[in-house]
A and B are shown apart, each in its own frame.
Chain A
Amino acid sequence: MEQKLSNSEKRTAYILTLPAVCLVFAIILFPIFANIWISFKEVQLKDIRIPEPRAKEIIKTIPDEQNKIKIVYKLRNSSLLQEIRNVKFEDKFSDNFKPLNLDERCNYKKNKVRCDFGNWPAKYRENFEIVFEIKDSEKIDKKDIKSSKPRLSGVSDNILLNTNFTLKNFKKVIFENEFVDLLLTTFYYTFFGTVGSIVFGILTAQMVNQKFYGRTFMRSVLLFPYVAPVVALAYTWELLLDPNSGTLNSLLVNFQILETPINLLGQKYLDINILGVSFKLRLALTTVIIFEIWRYFPLAFLFILARLQAIPKDLYEAADVDGASPFQKFFKITLPQITAVISILFMIRFIWNFNKFEDVFLLTGGASGTRTLPINVYQQGFAISDIGMGSAVSIVIVLLLLLFMFFYFKLLGKRADEN
């Protein structure tokens, strides 16, 4: 009896989870394997459209012959690259139609014109004509004829499914893609974005953790940048930072901090001279990182605030009795209590920032030194139209992420052992 119950329980569980699992497999896990497959192939964006035989129907009346009508089919192969084999054609007409000059590739049976066009090479075009004789010519209506659309079918190779593999894409990614610069930019963007958002998260959480009027409102306000749509925020920032009529530049020029406006999103380097040491700051990248910190510190804020509120009050009371200063309390009590949250946050934010595409894409489009790996996937795959290269870059992203996770957990495990 029990055995039976647990069997039916299992069956129920599989039925309940199956739809969700199938969908997630199809949309999330399958593409990862598909990426590996595509990255070893030379595929362009234009190759992935399956070639189709197409026909456009044009109806012409023949002058002086009321009872005849000419139908022209403009036939073509939609692909510029591949041939279509074994093209079949079929179109239906009403009873009172009779074809006069039927092509030898075709036959007419049961009111249907059926043709066998054979193979069409790439870019193939043909004007195919049939003249019909109609019994009651008054009744014909051009719309009626057009309403029955010709049906075409054919067989063609799918370039994605053949087994020609090559290592060319990976060679190109690593040797012809300014790969080191790409990695460095991605690393700067990810690392400083992550650290910055955590630092600001700690600051704001510490602030909001005290009692003051309007605290809940403040908490909602701090989360605004995180929940609002990226598109709106990115364009607002672009407007604020615009060199010609943007608010920030106008302010700086108005108060004579700057002499000429500065293009914060379009200038790659800024020469900075502090105490005789001059260096080049990557300006656009810095701006993008600041946007990223602005947008994502709320997540860190929320996690850290939740942790702060869970710290037992008597720890602080005991510290007060011992006469600890506020700074001592922060460094000796608060900070050790939130290290666990910070390390989780660091991992989450690092992974998500590493894959962040929208923010950089909307702000700079990857120009002026802000080309990160995800931006490169888009550029390769859709701007240069090389799907294979795009896939290869995606694979690089996945490998780097796995490497990061491996080291991160190894380090975390080591520290857990020490404690």
Chain B
Amino acid sequence: MQGLTFKRGVHPPDGKALSADQPIKVILPKENSELFYPMSQHIGAPCDPLVAVGDHVKVGQKIAESGAFMSSPIFASVSGEVVDIRPMLVPGGAMVKSIVVKNDGKMEEIEGLNEGRDYTTMSNDEILAAIKNAGVVGLGGAGFPTHVKLNPPKDTPIDHILINAAECEPYLTCDYRLMLEEPERIVRGLQIMLKLHPNAKGVIGIEMNKPKAIEAMTKACEGIDNIMVQPLVTKFPQGSEKHLIYAITKREVKSGALPASAGCIVDNVDTVVAIERAICKGRPLMRRIVTVSGSGIKNPGNYKIRIGMTLRDLVDAIGGFNEENPPVKLIAGGPMMGPTLYTLDVASVKTTSGLLCFTKDEAYIPEERNCIRCGKCVEHCPMGLMPFQLNACAIKGDGEGFVAHHGLDCIECGSCSYECPAKRQLAQSIRATKKIEAGKKAAAAAAARAKAEAEAKAKAEAEKK
């Protein structure tokens, strides 16, 4: 079968061999270890704690929630005592208010856990509520609340539900292992999603560098009419939502719009499994699969961890660093887009897909040189931008030029920096300027709103008089 793909993009060395053949291993937090549950592990409103210091919590207990629609509750993944509520470092680099639970090692489960239901007998509203109440968010990296994604506005009909199994980030193999080990659950999860959108077609998009996964998923889909496996060309960033949609449907998601506007819902493999667990097993999101890799770790592999474990506990549990060649750089996620960590004392969150331990050689940062205008960044930018120009705007502090050259459309995939022969930090400078300009834009919008409100108020008052 011919693989589909998008235009441009890059081919970084994949580094997946380190962990691809390592079966998923379950890692349980040690007794008396502390687990951290940050209040914001998703896009949307942060949660408020439902428990107080001194409370005893059980596995599967909802410990934090928000009233907002665009949010997702958080669950205890161990049983134990709430010992503190304090700011804790999360992989993105922020300090986030977190509930600290001391694991009593008993793994005592809350009542009602494991009460699976038959999704075919549930109404769509029940399914959406169950997904929301299980705290399911996009596990691929962004953490978009899944119940919001699955419930697009009524005027945007969905005709494709795409499972993002591209796993285009080098080194990461957690989705790959999941497809080999639990293909039926992925298919079942997809069937639940298709029940919500009966007119949609389910497509599982897998890069062709994972033939075994394509085989396993194809087998699991046999006899199901509305689900198919679609091989994709191995190219970064194939797993970018917009580019996956383009590869499979040839539709372009409009600048600034959500995938639903193109009739598509895209979810990562692990997210689909989380949906399946939430409905069929009655278990909220408490675990995820993390690839730990790089030459700086003793036992690279794929580990099923309890969300909330610190990365230090995880590294200790799997045998620690490679003593002969210890890592000098830690990356949360893949090497193209994952942020670096300055310490292992970081809480794992719902979106922690990987931990890479890079040794001195792997972490080498080449010196930045003059842009030679070779145009390789333009040639490879999957969004069709001109990164060298955005970089120049960023350096000059020319925000207007940056926006005029569509800087806000950058998906921060890093293809430009990867290709740059002058080794310029294109993606980094664009990301930083994007933050500034997006902030300005939001502030301007807020100011306009406030002005309109004030005017309306003044008008109303004038009319009163």
A-B interaction: no
